[in-house]
Amino acid sequence: MAEFAFGIFDHIERRDHDLGELYEGRLRLLELAEQAGFYCYHVAEHHGTPLGMAPSPGIFLGAVAQRTRRIHFGPLVYLLPLYNPIRLAEEICMLDQLSGGRMEVGVGRGVSPFELAYFNVPFLESREIFEEALDVIVAALRNERIAHRGEHYNVRGFPMELRPKQTPNPPFWYASSNPEHVVYAGRRGMNLVGVGTAALLSKSAAAFRGAWSEHHRRPESINPQVAEPKIGAVRHVYVGPDDSAAMVQARPAYKAYYNNLQKLWRDFYTVETHFTDDLDLACRHEAAIVGSPGAVADAVGRFFEESGCNYLILSFAWGSLSQEQSERSLELFASKVMPQFAPHSAGAAAQGRVRTARA
């Protein structure tokens, strides 16, 4: 038997109304997610694109820290090549303290060469910049003074006056489908967010667990406090009253999401080829889960059974979905689907029963 958890993923895509209203609506959605028992809220970082209206995720997460009390939160991911690592370590400390120790730190180099180029970061060097920045951040979170001399960063005995609430540091997360990078995440002891179908994820999960088990107690692990890593994936989701109505409502929203995703790529006369604007195709390839509560529960059950994952991160607000549609979808998921998999969800407590999915 296995116990599973659910998270929320959010690009905070631009809509055709006031940005302040968009942020406020998202905070209300998060309050609902917290009441439902979701484990963590993960917000993306993007620049120069309608895909992401939180280009400084730490600022939005500061608001999240004050509007919630239990749900964990963090970026998925901080684009480390765009930051001074000492400055970012200070921000992480502030957010962890403001939230009472609920910060979860997703890190990466960034998938868009165009976003990095706007900040004069060479994409082909971004991997090594990321790895060096991560080492500096971990050292800064754990020590009162940090000195570092490397190829990309030099730190001359900086005094870290701030400390995180969690020790030795907040948990780190990594997102990738690349087998080599999955092993890197396991070796560093990070929680993993994979990409792809359940069949692909099962291979990634096995490779990750092997590396994590071998290196968990070694110095290279940056999450020694984590006894069992979370291994998950992101899925767009929309829950409607029945399968047909859900697809009708979600199809135009998914096209809007696709256009937001491709906008910056199209500016440079190309497209990101891993995505489609066809929601039916996205569902068949397991990038999206759309339907009635029963159909969505079946899809979630298959995901956990076939992927080897113990964590599912769901995006409820995307494309042209209205605030009301996103809230209703989340409420249906929380009341009709979550209780079958997450024994500590609000829906499970209300129903007084739990059906734990097969391991």
Identify the domain containing residue 33 by its residue range. 5-76+171-351
Q: Which pLDDT score, from 0 to 100, does residue 177 have?
A: 74
Measured between its terminal Cα atoms, the distance across the chain in Å is 5
The β-bridge partners of 72 are 40
Q: What whole-number distance in Å separates Cα of residue 238 and Cα of residue 332? A: 9
Tell me the pTM.
0.94
Q: What whole-number distance in Å separates Cα of residue 127 and Cα of residue 132? A: 9
Tokens representing residue 206 in the block: 């096995």
**Residue 101 counted as domain residue:** no
Give the domain CATH number at 326: 3.20.20.30
Measured in degrees and rounded to the nearest 5, phi and psi for residue 161 equal -80, -20
Q: Which pLDDT score, from 0 to 100, does residue 2 have?
A: 63
Residue 78 three-state SS: strand
Number of domains in the chain: 1
Q: Which amino acid is at 134?
A: L
- Write b or e for each residue in 112-151: b if 16 or more Cβ atoms lie within 10 A of its Cβ, otherwise e: bbbbbeeeebebeebeebbbbbbbbbbbbbbeeebebeee
Q: Within 10 Å of residue 358's Cβ, how many Cβ atoms?
A: 8
**Residue 287 counted as domain residue:** yes
Q: Which pLDDT score, from 0 to 100, does residue 345 have?
A: 62
- List per-block mean pLDDT (blocks of 10 residues) for the chain, which spans 359 residues: 87 92 98 98 98 97 98 98 98 98 97 96 97 98 97 97 98 90 96 95 96 94 96 98 97 98 96 93 97 98 97 98 98 97 61 35
Q: What whole-number distance in Å separates Cα of residue 196 and Cα of residue 179? A: 12
Q: Are strands 231-239 and 311-315 parallel, antiparallel or unpaired?
A: parallel
**Residue 60 counted as domain residue:** yes
Contact 250, 290 (CB under 8 A): yes
Q: What whole-number distance in Å separates Cα of residue 43 and Cα of residue 58? A: 9
**Residue 322 counted as domain residue:** yes
**Residue 296 counted as domain residue:** yes
* Helix or strand holding residue 331 (H, E): helix 323-332
**Residue 97 counted as domain residue:** no
Contact 79, 110 (CB under 8 A): yes
